C-alpha cells in the first residue's frame, strides 16, 4: 500500500460530528510530541474544518489545489502544533469542484517517504471523497460516539473497509460520560466486533481549546481528553517501533542467509 516507510492512518466515522477532526489534530500533535514525523491532511474536502480548528483557514494554497493539479503538496503544507505539518483543505465550492479525490492516493503514498505517520482526516459516510482515504490507508481508526445510531453507521464503515481490504486498527469511543443511558465501551466493541483503542470522555477543556484554535493536548495535557489521546499515541508509536524491529530482523536474516555468515542484529 505505502511507498515509503511511514504509515497512512485514516480517521473515519459513519456520522459527521463524532470527533474525527478533533482526533486527527490531537493525535497528530501527540505523535509529534513523541518524536514522530507527522503530517495531518484534511481529506474531508467537502466540509474542510481542520484548518479552522488550527487557525489555518486563510491558507492561500490547500489540498484542493493539489488535487486539482494546480499546486504541489509542499506548497499546501503548513507548520502546525508542536511542529507537526498540516495540509488544510479549502473552503470554497469552486475549489472543491476542481479537486479530484482520486489523486489523494498518490499524494498520501508520496508523503509516507517523508513522514512516519500520514494522518488522513476523512469525511463521514461512504461518499467518493471518503472511500479513497479508506482504500489507501494502512490502518483505519473508527470514531464512534456511544449511541446506537453512531454505532449503526460505523458498521457500514467497517463493511467498506472489508470491501477495500483495509485493516481496521480499532475504535475510539469519543465523548463518553454524557449520559447514564449511553453504551459502555465494552458493548460498543462487542457490537462492532472490533477492539476499543481508547475511551475519550466528553471534556470541557476540548471546547475551551477549540475557542483558542489549539489542540487540547497543547492547552492542558493533563485534561481527561488530552490524557486519553496521549495514551492512544503511545500505543500507535509503540507498535510502529515494533513493526520496524520486525522489518529490521527480517532484513538482517535475509542478508545473513545470503552471506552464510553469523546472525548479527543492530550493528557490529
145: closest CA among 3, 15, 8, 4? 15
Among 10, 13, 18, 21, binds Mg ion (CB under 5 A): 21
Among 6, 10, 12, 19, binds ligand ADP (CB under 6 A): 19
Return the SS3 of 147.
Answer: coil
Q: How far is the CB of 142 from ligand ADP (least distance, A)?
A: 11
169 sits near ligand ADP (criterion: CB under 6 A):
no
62 binds, among Mg ion, ligand ADP, none (CB under 5 to 8 A by kind): none
Q: Per CB under 5 A, which of residues 110..139 are in contact with Mg ion? A: none
Rounded Cα distance between 257 and 127, Å, is 48
28: closest CA among 76, 102, 100, 85? 85
Maximum distance among all Cα pairs of the chain, rounded to whole angstroms: 64
Cβ contacts of 216 within 8 Å, gap of 6 or more: 26, 203, 205, 206, 208, 209, 223, 225, 226, 229
200 binds, among ligand ADP, Mg ion, none (CB under 5 to 8 A by kind): ligand ADP
175 binds, among Mg ion, ligand ADP, none (CB under 5 to 8 A by kind): ligand ADP
Which secondary-structure segment (H or E) carries 227?
A: helix 224-259
Q: Kindly state the cell numbers that stand for 109.
A: 503514498
Return the SS3 of 82.
Answer: helix
Residues that bind ligand ADP (rule: CB under 6 A) add up to a total of 18
Cβ contacts of 44 within 8 Å, gap of 6 or more: 20, 21, 50, 89, 121, 122, 123, 124, 129, 130
Question: Applying CB under 6 A, which part among 20-28, 72-80, 100-108, 131-139 lies near ligand ADP?
Answer: 20-28
22 sits near ligand ADP (criterion: CB under 6 A):
yes
175 sits near ligand ADP (criterion: CB under 6 A):
yes
Got the DSSP string for 91-128? Answer: --HHHHHH--GGGHHHHHHHHTTT-SEEEEEPPSTT-H
Question: Applying CB under 6 A, which part among 92-100, 126-134, 206-214, 252-260 lies near ligand ADP?
Answer: 206-214
Question: Which string of x and - marks every residue 219-248 that binds ligand ADP (by CB under 6 A)?
Answer: ------x-----------------------
Query: Toward ligand ADP, which CB reaches closer, 68 or 141?
Result: 141
Among 203, 214, 229, 230, binds ligand ADP (CB under 6 A): 203
Q: Per CB under 6 A, which of residues 32..71 are in contact with ligand ADP? A: 49
Interacting residue ranges for ligand ADP, rule: CB under 6 A: 13, 16-22, 49, 174-175, 200, 202-203, 206-207, 210, 225
Interacting residue ranges for Mg ion, rule: CB under 5 A: 20-21
Amino acid at each position: 500500500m505505502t511507498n515509503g516507510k511511514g504509515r497512512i492512518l485514516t480517521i473515519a466515522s459513519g456520522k459527521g460530528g463524532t470527533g474525527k477532526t478533533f482526533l486527527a489534530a490531537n493525535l497528530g500533535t501527540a505523535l509529534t510530541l513523541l518524536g514522530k514525523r507527522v503530517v495531518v491532511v484534511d481529506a474531508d474536502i467537502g466540509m474542510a474544518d481542520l484548518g479552522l480548528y488550527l487557525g489555518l483557514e486563510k491558507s492561500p494554497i490547500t489540498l484542493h489545489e493539489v488535487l486539482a493539479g494546480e499546486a504541489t503538496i509542499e506548497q499546501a503544507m503548513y507548520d502546525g502544533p508542536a511542529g507537526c505539518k498540516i495540509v488544510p483543505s479549502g473552503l470554497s465550492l469552486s475549489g472543491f469542484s476542481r479537486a479530484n479525490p482520486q489523486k489523494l492516493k498518490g499524494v498520501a503514498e508520496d508523503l509516507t517517504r517523508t513522514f512516519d505517520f500520514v494522518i488522513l482526516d476523512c469525511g463521514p459516510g461512504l461518499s467518493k471523497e471518503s472511500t479513497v482515504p479508506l482504500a489507501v490507508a494502512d490502518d483505519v481508526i473508527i470514531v464512534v460516539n456511544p449511541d446506537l445510531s453512531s454505532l449503526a453507521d460505523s458498521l457500514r464503515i467497517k463493511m467498506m473497509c472489508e470491501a477495500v481490504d483495509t485493516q481496521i486498527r480499532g475504535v475510539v469511543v469519543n465523548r463518553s460520560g454524557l449520559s447514564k443511558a449511553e453504551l459502555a465501551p465494552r458493548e460498543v466493541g462487542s457490537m462492532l466486533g472490533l477492539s476499543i483503542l481508547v475511551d475519550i470522555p466528553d471534556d470541557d477543556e476540548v471546547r475551551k481549546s477549540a475557542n483558542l484554535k489549539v489542540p487540547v493536548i497543547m492547552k492542558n495535557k493533563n485534561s481527561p481528553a488530552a490524557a486519553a489521546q496521549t495514551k492512544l499515541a503511545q500505543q500507535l508509536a509503540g507498535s510502529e517501533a515494533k513493526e520496524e524491529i520486525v522489518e529490521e530482523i527480517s532484513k538482517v536474516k535475509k542478508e545473513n542467509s545470503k552471506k552464510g555468515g553469523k546472525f548479527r542484529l543492530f550493528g557490529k
